[in-house]
Amino acid sequence: MEKQALEKLRHALLAWYAAENRRLPWRQSSDPYAIWVSEIMLQQTRVETVIPYYQRFLGRFPQIHTLARADLETVLKLWEGLGYYARARNLHKAAGIVCREHGGRLPEDPEQLRRLPGIGDYIAAALASIAFGRPAAVVDGNVKRVLARLFMEKAAVNDSAAKQRFMRLADEILDRHNPGQFNQAMMELGQRICTPRNPVCPVCPIQAFCRAFQEQSVADFPRRLPSKIPPLRKMVFVLIAREDRFLIIRRPNQGLLGGLWELPGQEFQGRKISPEKMAESVRGLTGLIVTTPKLLGNVRHAYTHFRVSADLYCCRYLEGRIVLAGHTAYQWIHPDESSRYAFHKLIHKMGGMVTECGITKFFINR
């Protein structure tokens, strides 16, 4: 794109953003820490979902030092329901590094930012530009869509081989005098105007520069590689009652859903597990001897790269001492205490099923 056209595009986009941008909580702050928290939360999560989490999180951890001093379980509990829990673990870990090695101040340089846990190219560019005014172009899904239509880019937006191509295009049009505002304007344009379906081209501030609009081919962009159907994993979980309490176990801090609590469970192959086989599995998982488990029902949940179909059983403790295989801690808790612990979404869905069928009251207390 010619230099004069680029200048007009930048001016039009920034003027639109100045007049039309949403007054979101994180946009009212110039604190790099607050901006960092918002960008981490906004990864793969809708703005409307993030707002209450962001406000509660900063209410509890208003400064990077308070986050660094907090225990991980408290952080995960505040994050509960937001998903992608590695974000929370990395945010907590990075806060400690910043406090120990950088005096509690986030680095301004994108290269230094990328060395912190949980900060990749996108977050580094967003922080460097929005918090520190560094000329670093951001490239997320919304920006890719705008660029694909603006330049009629044939590379697929979900093709990792095309990453550098989109980064070059984003860098080409970046307003280096106002990079933070420009990056936010590009993202806002993709979220509100240049949407995946039914884009609102008549009110787009940069339609005059959009090749796809001029060629009446907006619907043909962006291009995508065919998506694979995520595999289905079959799992079983068990609610083990002991008097008026039930057993929960804590996952290791590293890996999927790290640091969260759940019911004892495992993945299995085949169609179904018999109640007798399930009792053997409980002993292998926990070291406990229990009554023959009863099937309560099934819940399903989808993660980014796979789906889960999980059967929930219930049984009563008979004897034995707990032996954990891979998990890091356990608790026998009363149902009223469950709100103190951070559980992942699948366990929350099971909790809803347990409440619905009244098993907590009927089975545990009988």
290 occurs within a structural domain: yes
Catalytic residue annotation: 39
Q: Is the pLDDT of residue 270 over 80?
A: no
Is residue 161 domain-resident? yes
Give a yes or no: residue 279 inside a domain: yes
What average pLDDT does this structure show over 259-282?
Answer: 88
What is the pLDDT confidence band of residue 366, given thresholds at 50, 70 and 90? very low
The CB-side HSE value for 293 (13 A sphere, CA atoms) comes to: 27
Based on the domain organization, do 73 and 191 belong to the same domain? yes
The answer to whether residues 248 and 142 belong to one domain is no
CA dihedral angle for residue 260, residue 261, residue 266, residue 267, rounded to 10 degrees:
-40
The region of weakest confidence among 175-189, 221-235, 343-357 is 343-357
C-alpha span between 364 and 354 (Å, rounded) = 11
| Residue 225: inside a domain | no
State the Cα–Cα distance between residues 150 and 194, nearest whole angstrom: 10
Query: Is 205 part of any domain?
Result: yes
Rounded to an integer, the average pLDDT of 73-88 is 93
Residues 204, 261: one domain? no
Q: Tell which of 175, 194, 220 closes a domain.
A: 220
Judge whether 294 and 313 are in contact, CB under 8 Å: yes
Residues 167 and 261 in one domain: no
Which residues are CB-neighbours of 337 under 8 A, at least 6 positions away?
none
Looking at the fold, whether 97 and 212 belong to one and the same domain comes out as yes
- The answer on pLDDT for 41 being more than 80 is yes
Q: For residue 226, is it within any domain?
A: no
> Do 214 and 259 lie in a common domain?
no
Q: What is the CATH classification number for the domain harbouring 323?
A: 3.90.79.10
User: Dmax over Cα atoms in the chain, in whole Å?
Assistant: 79
271 pLDDT above the threshold of 90: no
Higher pLDDT, residue 80 or 364: 80
Predicted confidence (pLDDT) at residue 246 exceeds the cutoff of 60: yes
Instruction: Identify which of 245, 244, 267 has the alpha carbon closest to the alpha carbon of residue 330.
Output: 245
% of the chain residues with pLDDT over 70? 96
Choosing from 190, 220, 250, the residue where a domain stops is 220
pLDDT tens digits, residue range 124-178?
Answer: 999 999 999 999 999 999 999 999 999 999 999 999 999 999 999 999 999 999 9
Co-location of 146 and 208 in the same domain: yes
Residue 100 within a domain: yes
pTM score, whole prediction: 0.86
Residue-number span of the structural domain to which 275 is assigned: 232-364
Q: What is the pLDDT of residue 168?
A: 96
Domain finish residue from 220, 249, 279: 220
Tell me, yes or no, whether 196 and 333 share the same domain. Answer: no
Q: Is 364 left (phi over 0), alpha (psi -120 to 50) or beta?
A: alpha
**Co-location of 278 and 203 in the same domain:** no
CATH number of the structural domain spanning residue 70 = 1.10.340.30
Is residue 194 domain-shared with residue 250, that is, in the same domain?
Answer: no
Rounded Cα distance between 303 and 235, Å, is 14
Counts for the chain of helices (H) and strands (E), in that order: 15, 8
Q: For the chain, percent helix, then strand, then coil, each to nearest 5?
A: 50, 15, 35
Residue 227 falls within a domain, yes or no?
no
How many domains, the chain? 2
Same-domain pairing of 14 and 132: yes
Q: Do 278 and 248 share a structural domain?
A: yes
